Amino acid sequence: MSLISSEMPQKLLAWYEVHRRDLPWRRDPTPYRVWVSEVMLQQTQVDTVIPYYQRFLSRFPELADLARARLEEVLPLWSGLGYYRRARDLHAAARKISSEHGGQFPRDRDQVLALPGIGPYTAGAVLSLAFNLPEPVLDGNVERVLTRLLALPGNPRQSANVRRLREEARGLIPAGRAGDFNQALMELGALICLPLGPRCLDCPLAGLCRARRRGQPERFPEKKPAKKTVPVSLAVLVIERDGKLLLENRPPALEGGQPAYLRGLWNFPALEVEDPEQPPYQLSEAIRARWGAAIRISCRLGSARHSITFRKITLHVWRGEVDGHPSPASKTRPGRVPHLAWRWARPEELGSRYAVPSLAWKVLGLLQKPFSGPRGSAAFPKKPPGKPARAAPPDPESGRPP
Ligand code: ADE
């Protein structure tokens, strides 16, 4: 028996009719379009997502276009959004839908949940928003709205509370209006029922809200204990030759060099170190061993901070000079061969041709002097539009780091 008034859905839907934002994924909400938007929105704010979404949909208008593409064509479109794991899973799931479901996004919940990167939240979102099936969605916004309506004590992510909130959300869905109702709940959380300073005077549900009746809506949801953070020192080597920068791509399965959370992307050679004051000779030695190029570490460029999930990383950036004009021994094309690859990349290719981790922009920022490109021009690329919404929470669906 729910403690939320049965008047709630109609009040919420009436408010949504008037106040809904005109967002690109709400026009023509096909399963594919809804799915892409929900994956992008998982850890990134709406304003940031919009240009990425539009770019992605114009490059891959249909699921079949995404399934046909190579991963290397997909990842650069994610550059700047962070959490590349989401893009890899999206691509793998599109291929699975093509091969196992005849290219049609499945309507069956278990089949949807069997797709890479799709957990209960994304499944509920696609099934309700695109197919109008009565499935609940429980993202951070919805969790907050329901927790306040109920004045639910305790951590809302704790399993008994998750079950309770999902059942409340399911029980409130009005017949035939699952999509609008779920969007409306998310919208209320995003625009009115804010984490700090909720706008109760504008809220259509204020009269039904137990947390408000107690005079302290902001006390809900109750705070979770903060996650422990781990400090990391990462030495990074910037090596330029003829206006190009040396990047490496180390596949996830290959040990050594780039730490696991950076593998699979193009990045400056980097290594976790114990003593950040020492030049990273291990890195220059690894490059010499790999393709015979002697690298001289010439100076320290500076340091910067960057967070990835629970890691608080300090980047220690060094400049290396390469003697002579060696070419990388590995001539593998990106993605073709599952082992280490090297490239000399023009700065403007970072984030466009080569998918780079967000910390690469901070490394570039430390090269204060105009880049000594072939024509002596300053050719620094800008970080792509937008930035990840927050430093780096784990993936809500899998709990994995990006
Ligand atoms: N956040 C997550 N999903 C959303 C959606 N469909 N619309 C607006 N914000 C969202």
pLDDT at 381: 56
Q: Which residue has the higher pLDDT, 375 or 117?
A: 117
pLDDT tens track for 60-88? 999 999 999 999 999 999 988 988 899 99
Cα–Cα distance measured from residue 94 to residue 109, given in angstroms and rounded to the nearest whole number: 16
Question: Which of 19, 20, 21, 23 to mutate to test ligand 1, by most ligand atoms within 8 A of the CB atom?
Answer: 23
Q: Provide φ and ψ at 315, rounded to 5°.
A: -90, 130
The distance in angstroms from the start CA to the end CA of the chain is 39
Can you give the pLDDT at residue 401? 32
Distance (angstroms) between ligand 1 centre and the Cα of 228 equals: 29
One DSSP character per residue, 39-103 reads: HHHTSS-HHHHHHHHHHHHHHS-SHHHHHHS-HHHHGGGGTTT--HHHHHHHHHHHHHHHHHSTT
pTM of the model: 0.78
Distance between Cα 215 and ligand 1 center (Å): 28
Query: Which ligand 1 atom lies nearest to the CA of residue 129?
Result: 6
- Ligand 1: list residues with CB < 6 Å: 23, 38, 41, 46, 139, 183, 186, 190
Do 313 and 306 touch, CB atoms closer than 8 A?
A: yes
> Distance of CA 210 to CAs 28, 58, 141, 223, Å?
36, 45, 17, 18
- Closest by CA position to 230, among listed 307, 316, 315, 302: 307
Q: What percent of the chain has pLDDT over 70?
A: 87
Q: What is the pLDDT of residue 14?
A: 98
Q: What is the mean pLDDT of residues 303-332?
A: 81
Distance 384 CA to ligand 1 centre (A): 22
Q: What's the gap in Å between 41 CA and the centre of ligand 1?
A: 6
Residue located nearest, by CA, to atom 1 of ligand 1: 41
More confident residue, 324 or 43: 43
Mutate to test the pocket of ligand 1, among 30, 34, 41, 128 (most ligand atoms within 8 A of CB): 41
Radius of gyration from C-alpha coordinates of the chain? 24
The domains located in the chain, with CATH, are 8-219 (1.10.340.30), 230-378 (3.90.79.10)
Which atom of ligand 1 is least distant from the CA of 190?
Answer: 9
- CB-CB contact of 358 with 309 (8 Å): no
For 314, phi and psi rounded to 5 degrees?
Answer: -105, 120
Q: How far is the CA of 31 from the centre of ligand 1 (A)?
A: 14
DSSP assignment, residue 237? Answer: E
- Distance between CA 217 and CA 39 in Å, rounded? 29
With H, G, I as helix, E, B as strand and everything else as coil, classify residue 22: coil
Q: Are 77 and 51 in contact (CB under 8 A)?
A: no
Q: Which residue would you say has higher pLDDT here, 43 or 186?
A: 186
Instruction: Kindly state the average pLDDT of the residues 242-269.
Output: 86
- For residue 141, the ligand 1 atom closest to its alpha carbon is 1
Q: What is the number of the ligand 1 atom nearest to the C-alpha of 139?
A: 2
Distance between Cα 38 and ligand 1 center (Å): 7
CA-angle at 348, arms to 342 and 352, nearest 5°: 75
Of 381, 396, 399, nearest to 80 (Cα)? 381
> Which atom of ligand 1 lies nearest, measured to the CA of 34?
6
Question: What digits encode the pLDDT tens for the residues 57-67?
Answer: 999 999 999 99
Residue nearest to atom 2 of ligand 1 (CA): 41
What is the per-residue pLDDT for 402? 31
- Name the percent of the chain lying above pLDDT 90: 71
Show which residues are catalytic: 38
Of all protein residues, the one whose alpha carbon is nearest to atom 3 of ligand 1 is 38
Tell whether omega for the bond before 402 is within 30 degrees of 0, i.e. cis.
Answer: no
Helix (H, G, I), strand (E, B) or coil at 370: coil
pLDDT, tens digit (0-9, with 9 covering 90-100), for 343-397: 899 999 998 899 999 999 999 999 865 444 333 333 445 555 544 433 333 344 4
- Testing ligand 1's pocket by substitution, the residue of 141, 145, 188 carrying the most ligand atoms inside 8 A of its CB is 141
